[in-house]
């Protein structure tokens, strides 16, 4: 609990509260206030008001000395400085270690853009490709990239261009987890084969292994739009069992999704199949559950 008594700045216990005077004579607080406010998503104006109130309570801000009063602009400058330091530290650590595994995940989203027309600016929306790069092992976040186009060639060029920009060594890259076409383009660019973790175990193999066929019968399986499958079961219990398996198994949940249709009948819809997976392969994988011998 904070006391309301006055605290002397010469007390070594409170040295971290002393202002730091920079070359431009700006008074900065030696506190992680900017980082904490950013971490919890509190507005700069609210953090500034709370910080100034606390400093006033402990006697560091008085009527005769208001140098430590914090405003939102001071917080924004400090946040910018902290982010720049953290980015430099992260890049320095990354450059010192060889990259052995790379995980790449992306999607196309509606993104807010600023359009200029003569002297005026307008806000609009555009479909843009977004990529997140993760270093493995260790799951260290690297960067977010936005290629000009969503083609495999452009994605691989954007990834290579980023690493060449700060001279990250890719010669020891052993494995990559992303779309199979992008992996092939990266292999051509690097001049060596890579272990594609996505295709190391196909969706067909996972379905055979994770969904046992005992006491589980399906009547039909057919293709639908957007790389999906519709599976008709004998009863709702079977369809619920398959959906629970897909949602609770990490190996399946990372690759595909499943849901019941809007109408109430014993069937499920599997969608978000990887680009390297064919509907025919999935049909053959689950054919062991179907009470027919003819190909679907």
Q: Are 170 and 163 in contact (CB under 8 A)?
A: yes
DSSP result, 200-255: SS-HHHHHHHHS--TT--EEEEEEETTTEEEEEESSHHHHHHHHHHHHH-HHHHTT
pLDDT at residue number 101? 76
DSSP assignment letter at 257: E
Say what the pTM is: 0.42
pLDDT at residue number 58? 83
DSSP result, 5-67: S---TT-GGGGGGSEEE-TT--EEESSTHHHHHHHTT--HHHHHHHHHHHHHHTTSS-SS--T
| Domain spans of the chain, in order of start | 32-95, 101-188, 200-295
Rounded to 10 deg, the angle between the 72-96 and 44-57 helix axes is 110
Contacts of 57 (CB under 8 A, 6+ apart): 2, 4
Per-residue model confidence as pLDDT tens for the chain (296 residues) = 444 343 344 445 444 444 444 445 555 555 577 778 877 888 888 888 888 888 888 888 888 887 788 888 888 888 888 888 877 777 777 666 777 777 777 777 777 888 888 888 888 887 778 888 877 777 777 777 888 776 777 777 887 787 776 666 666 777 777 655 566 677 776 666 665 555 445 555 666 666 666 556 666 666 666 556 777 777 777 777 777 777 776 666 666 677 776 666 666 666 656 555 555 666 665 655 555 444 44
User: What is d(CA 94, CA 144) in angstroms, rounded to the nearest whole number?
Assistant: 15
pLDDT at residue number 295? 43
pLDDT at residue number 108? 74
Structure tokens at 159: 């990834």
Question: Beta partners for 175?
Answer: 101, 195
pLDDT at residue number 87? 76
User: What is d(CA 56, CA 63) in angstroms, rounded to the nearest whole number?
Assistant: 10
User: What is d(CA 25, CA 87) in angstroms, rounded to the nearest whole number?
Assistant: 25
pLDDT at residue number 180? 53
CA angle 209, 214, 220 (to 5 degrees): 85
pLDDT at residue number 238? 74
Dihedral, CA atoms, 159, 161, 166, 168, nearest 10 degrees? Answer: 50
């Amino acid at each position: 609990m904070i006391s309301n008594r006055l605290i002397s700045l010469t007390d070594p216990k409170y040295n971290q509260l002393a202002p730091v005077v920079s070359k431009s004579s700006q008074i900065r607080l030696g506190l992680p206030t900017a980082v904490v406010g950013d971490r919890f998503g509190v507005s700069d104006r609210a953090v500034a008001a709370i910080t100034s109130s606390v400093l006033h309570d402990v006697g560091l801000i008085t009527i005769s000395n208001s140098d430590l009063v914090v405003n939102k602009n001071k917080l924004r400058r400090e946040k910018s400085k902290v982010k720049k330091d953290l980015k430099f530290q992260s890049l320095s650590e990354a450059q010192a270690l060889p990259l052995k595994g790379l995980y790449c995940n992306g999607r196309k989203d509606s993104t807010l853009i600023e359009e200029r027309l003569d002297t005026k600016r307008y806000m609009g929306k555009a479909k843009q490709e977004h990529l997140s790069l993760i270093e493995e092992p260790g799951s260290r976040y690297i960067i977010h990239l936005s290629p000009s186009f969503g083609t495999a060639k452009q994605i691989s060029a954007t990834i290579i261009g980023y690493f060449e920009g700060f001279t990250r060594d890719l010669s020891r890259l052993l494995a990559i987890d992303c779309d199979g076409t992008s992996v092939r383009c990266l292999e051509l660019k690097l001049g060596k084969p890579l272990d594609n973790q996505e295709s190391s175990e196909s969706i067909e193999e996972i379905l055979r292994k994770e969904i046992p066929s005992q006491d589980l019968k399906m009547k039909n399986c057919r293709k639908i739009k957007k790389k999906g499958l519709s599976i008709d079961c004998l009863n709702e219990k079977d369809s619920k069992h398959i959906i629970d398996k897909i949602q609770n198994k990490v190996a399946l949940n990372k690759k595909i999704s499943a849901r019941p249709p809007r109408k109430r009948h014993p069937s499920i819809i599997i969608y978000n199949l990887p680009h390297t997976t064919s509907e025919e392969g999935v049909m053959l994988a689950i054919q062991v559950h179907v009470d027919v011998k003819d190909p679907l």
